Each structure stands twice: as structure tokens, then as C-alpha cells.
Amino acid sequence: MSEVTDRKLRLGTRASALALWQSNWVASQLCELGYAVELVEISTQGDVKSGPIGAIGSQGVFTKEIQRALLEDEVDFAVHSLKDLPTEVIPGLCLTSVPPRESVGDVLVSNRVASFDELPERAVVGTGSMRRKAQLLNRRPDLQVEDIRGNVDTRLEKLDRGDYEAIILAESGLKRLGFLERITHVIDRTVMVPAVGQGALGIECREEDEYVREVLSNLNDTTTFLAVTAERAMLRALRAGCLAPVGAYGQLIDQTLKLHGVVLSGIGDQRVDAGEEVSLAGIPLTDQVLAAEALGQRVADDLISQGATGLIAEVRADS
């Protein structure tokens, strides 16, 4: 554990309710260890522009401005929803810590039906995610899946005024914001594979700042870190970006790291799946990280051999 000093650590965060909850949670964990933290709110491209996320411009719409602030020494570290953090390496920055993961699932929220299977034919379902849309249509091509933007509160308001039969949200976000009672149905992962990094927080800092890296290491959960390392390695190898219809779920069970990945067409009529596992028993942590990255690469290679690259290219061309 790093020696506590009088240095106040500046935490860069978006100003949305969920981002502030996540950043305040991280700050509270560090404060309990004796470190002083102040939040610095930063507006991102994803916060100020309207319309579908995929149409705003590129991946990283919720992270680029925060990463710029890190590089320019305006903040000392940042807390991201890991599913929003691109896998490309930013010179000078590092993903130094991943705390224990919250629930990874996607949930149905509805005032009219009790489960996914009860959605009536041609029901209007809202989601801002291409991954969710493609998997919904893969299972139920009759559904009318429409885009929905805004924070969790705004999306729930749109549902409550009758704009949608149901909406799809991340279980972790609803739990963190105290909306557990709004969850109608947790969608089975055979129906909807989560986003890469879903339910996990990613804590990023400058690579050269050894003091901050050591402080943040206190919050890292090795089990979660290895699982998301495999997921992010798969996504990186696919060259898909975090906006593509790609899902992945890694689990470390009894020293065996398992990874399942999926890639779909934009309208969900085509889907390819792949799964691999690797034993991490008896090897040091640095080699476990390398094994997790190799696992992600193998799953990506399997998906590519089944045509994943073409599906991703079609989605890019249509967006």
C-alpha cells in the first residue's frame, strides 16, 4: 500500500448521475484508505450532442475529453464505465485498476409486460445500443427497435409516458442508481450477451505517475481484471470498436478463465458465436494477464473465421 501523503488526487469524471455515482464510489474507497480526492467534472462529446450514439462520430465519445485532461495534467486519474472505454492504447495513459464487477446483465424495463417473451408482436422497444438492437432482432425480428437517448432518468420518463412498450438497460446502472425496483426481467445471456466490460469500472491514469498508479492498485480486483482483459483483447482483435454489435462475457471460475464472444449483423439476421477457455492455475499474475489476452485473440480468430469481419464492415457502412 502506498504511503499516504497530503497530495489531493484530482478525479476526472462526466457529470451524469451514473458517472458521478461511480466516481464518488471510487473516491469514497480511496478516502477510507486515507487519501484525499476531489472530483473534476468534464463535459464529453457524448454528453453535449444529441441523436444515436453511433451517429455522433466515433467511439470514445464519452472518454476522449477526459483522456485529454489526463494527458494535460488537469486531473490525476479518471473513472470510466469500462464498456465506454475504447481498447486502443493511448500513449502515456494506462488502465491501471478495475474494481469488483457489478451485475453484467441487460434488463427489460416495462410497465406492460413481465418478461421478454411476453412482448407482443411488433412491440416498440427502446435502446441506444447497436449490440442490444441486433440481439433483440436476432431473437424477435418482429419487434420495432427504436433509438433512445438520455440518462437513465430520462429514459425511464420516456417509458412512463408511453413512448415504448419496453426499454433495455444495463442491470448494473439501475442497481447503482437505486432503481432496482424498475427491473422487470433480467434477460438471459443466451439471448443477450453483454457488452465488453459491462458492469465494470475502468480507472485510468498517466503511465508515468507511479504514485497514483500505486494508490489505485488498492482498488484492483484481479478476477474482474483478468475477465475484462480477455473481453477487451477480443474486441481489439476484431477491430470493432465499442459501438459495434459485439458482445462478450469472461468469467474466472476455479482458476479457469472462460470467454464467450458474439458478433451480429446490424439487423440481427446473422450471428456468429465462439467460446474458449484457459487454465490459469499455478502461473504468476503477469503471465495470467498474457494468457487472458491470448484467450481474447483466439476467440476473435474463431469469430473472424466464421465471417465476423464482414458483419462488422457492413454495420460500419450502414452507419
The whole-angstrom separation of Cα 242 and Cα 56 is: 13
The dihedral region occupied by 296, where left means phi > 0, alpha psi between -120 and 50, and beta the remainder, is alpha
pLDDT given at position 243:
76
What ranges in the chain are assigned the alpha helix state H? Answer: 17-32, 45-48, 53-56, 64-71, 130-139, 152-160, 171-176, 210-216, 222-238, 285-305, 308-318
The whole-angstrom separation of Cα 266 and Cα 86 is: 20
Fold of the domain spanning 222-319: Double Stranded RNA Binding Domain (3.30.160)
**Average pLDDT score over residue span 116-130:** 95
**Average pLDDT score over residue span 254-275:** 97
**Average pLDDT score over residue span 131-140:** 96
Domain 1-99+200-220 matches domain 222-319 at the CATH topology level: no
pLDDT given at position 267:
94
Give how far Cα 42 sits from Cα of 20, 62, 63, 284, Å: 11, 10, 10, 38
Nearest to 308 by CA among 250, 243, 262, 260: 262
Mean pLDDT (the chain, rounded): 92
Matching residue, cell 454489435: 245
**Average pLDDT score over residue span 131-135:** 97
More confident residue, 45 or 222: 222
Matching residue, cell 464518488: 24
**How buried is residue 178: exposed, middle or buried, by Cβ count under 10 Å (0-12/13-18/19+)?**
exposed
Give how far Cα 197 sits from Cα of 69, 104, 142, 225, Å: 23, 8, 29, 10
pLDDT given at position 316:
80
pLDDT one-digit tens code per residue, 10-65: 999 999 999 999 999 999 999 999 999 999 999 865 544 444 444 434 455 678 89
From the candidates 47, 73, 84, 221, give the one annotated as an active-site residue. Answer: 84
The whole-angstrom separation of Cα 17 and Cα 274 is: 35
Active-site residue flag, 84: yes
106 pLDDT more than 60: yes
CATH of 1-99+200-220 given 3.40.190.10, 1.10.357.10, 3.30.390.30, 2.60.40.10: 3.40.190.10
- Sequence ranges of the domains in the chain: 1-99+200-220, 106-186, 222-319
The whole-angstrom separation of Cα 228 and Cα 200 is: 8
> Where is 201: in which H helix or E strand?
strand 201-206
Q: What is the CATH number of domain 106-186?
A: 3.40.190.10
